[in-house]
């Protein structure tokens, strides 16, 4: 399946505060916009290869609870546990082909579902989202897929200025994810993306199994100390400074090339 990593979703009560904090650390970040039909709004920080972090907040809880979008339903559920990373998405230029791939490999696709918002300059951004029916019994989370209304070349031209940061050239390189059943999660992701066996390693967060997907590394850690299946760690590389940033339930590891 031909996909590229698109973005990491970070649930927070105040996206604008996360944006300000990242700006103070030397990153370029922007206000995104509102999603009236979902009851949410966001702020963004962009990196090389059209990857970005989305800080998303719930502005209208009733709309969020009833909108019918699986991502927003996940955010509403995660909100009971608290702020932090919630989901991540892979980009495709043929969402219909991805849906067909899912069916062939025993998954049940949900969608594509439409999405849109208006930028500050008045341009209306559109996209389609594709989800996977949850058959995991709560052991891990599937990602979702997104196809943008504009092509990668158009988006690259528009977003290029936002990928330059005072702290240095940067790339989102890996995501750490908790799972309650490591073997089952790895088997499902290998089947989903057609991947070889994982690489095993250990770091400050513990032992992990790593899969390379869409240009980044997904590192799966067994959640032996708390019942969670949320992403918890995001690594950013290429910076001039090295630091660990804890913000609104999420951990960002910033490192040099």
Whether 199 has a pLDDT exceeding 70, the answer reads yes
Structure tokens at 62: 């009733």
**pLDDT single digits (tens) 117-142:** 887 777 888 999 999 999 999 999 99
- Mean pLDDT of the region 151-179: 92
Burial 174-191 (b: 16+ CB within 10 A, else e): bbbbbbbbbeebbebbee
Residue 13 neighbours by CB distance under 10 Å: 12
Range of 123's domain? Answer: 4-255
Quick one: what percent of the chain has pLDDT higher than 90? 82
Residue 227 neighbours by CB distance under 10 Å: 10
Task: Please give the DSSP secondary-structure letter assigned to residue 39.
Answer: T
Cα 103 to Cα 21, 100, 145, 168, 184: the distances in Å are 42, 5, 14, 42, 19
Whether 225 has a pLDDT exceeding 70, the answer reads no
So what's the pLDDT on residue 228?
84
Whether 242 has a pLDDT exceeding 80, the answer reads yes
> What is the Cα–Cα distance from 26 to 10, expressed in whole angstroms?
19
What is the torsional sign of CA 221, 84, 216, 1?
Answer: positive
| Helix (H/G/I), strand (E/B), else coil: 97 | helix
> What is the Cα–Cα distance from 15 to 139, expressed in whole angstroms?
28
**pLDDT single digits (tens) 25-80:** 999 999 988 899 999 999 999 999 999 999 999 999 999 999 999 999 999 999 99
Q: What is the CATH number of the domain that holds 248?
A: 3.10.180.10
Whether 226 has a pLDDT exceeding 70, the answer reads no
So what's the pLDDT on residue 123?
83
Q: Which residues partner with 217 through β-bridges? A: 174, 212
| Helix (H/G/I), strand (E/B), else coil: 161 | helix
Structure tokens at 200: 């095993």
Whether 206 has a pLDDT exceeding 90, the answer reads no
Residues 6+ apart with CB under 8 A from 189: 195, 211, 213, 218, 220
Domains of the chain: total:
1
**pLDDT single digits (tens) 81-103:** 999 999 999 999 999 999 999 99
So what's the pLDDT on residue 237?
93
Alpha helices in the chain (DSSP H): 15-24, 61-66, 70-79, 95-104, 152-159, 182-193
> What is the Cα–Cα distance from 205 to 100, expressed in whole angstroms?
36
Whether 150 has a pLDDT exceeding 80, the answer reads yes
Q: Which residues partner with 178 through β-bridges? A: 221
Query: Over the chain, what is the mean pLDDT?
Result: 93
Using pLDDT thresholds of 50, 70 and 90, give the confidence band for residue 168: confident
| Helix (H/G/I), strand (E/B), else coil: 230 | coil
Whether 184 has a pLDDT exceeding 90, the answer reads yes
């Amino acid at each position: 399946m031909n996909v590229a990593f698109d973005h990491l979703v970070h649930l927070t009560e105040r996206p604008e505060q996360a944006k300000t904090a990242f700006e103070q650390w030397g990153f370029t970040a922007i206000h995104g916009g509102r999603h009236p039909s979902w009851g949410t709004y966001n702020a963004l920080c962009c990196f090389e290869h059209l990857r970005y972090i989305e800080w998303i907040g719930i502005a209208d809880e009733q709309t969020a609870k009833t909108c019918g979008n699986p991502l927003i339903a996940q955010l509403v559920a995660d909100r009971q546990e608290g702020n932090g990373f919630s989901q991540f998405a892979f980009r495709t230029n043929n969402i219909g082909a991805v849906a067909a791939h899912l069916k062939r490999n025993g998954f049940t696709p949900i969608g594509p579902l439409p999405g849109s918002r208006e930028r500050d300059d008045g341009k209306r951004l559109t996209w389609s989202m594709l989800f996977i029916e949850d058959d995991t019994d709560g052991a891990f989370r599937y990602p979702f897929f997104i196809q943008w209304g504009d092509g990668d070349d158009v988006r690259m031209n528009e977003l290029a200025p936002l990928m330059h940061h005072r702290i240095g050239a940067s790339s989102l390189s890996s995501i750490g994810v908790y799972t309650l059943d490591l073997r089952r999660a790895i088997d499902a992701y290998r089947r989903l993306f057609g991947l070889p066996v994982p690489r095993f390693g250990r770091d400050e967060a513990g032992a992990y199994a790593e899969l390379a997907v869409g240009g980044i590394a997904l590192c799966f850690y067994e959640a032996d100390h708390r019942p969670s299946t949320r992403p918890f760690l995001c690594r950013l590389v290429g910076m001039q400074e090295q630091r660990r940033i804890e913000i609104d339930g999420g951990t960002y590891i910033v490192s040099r090339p």
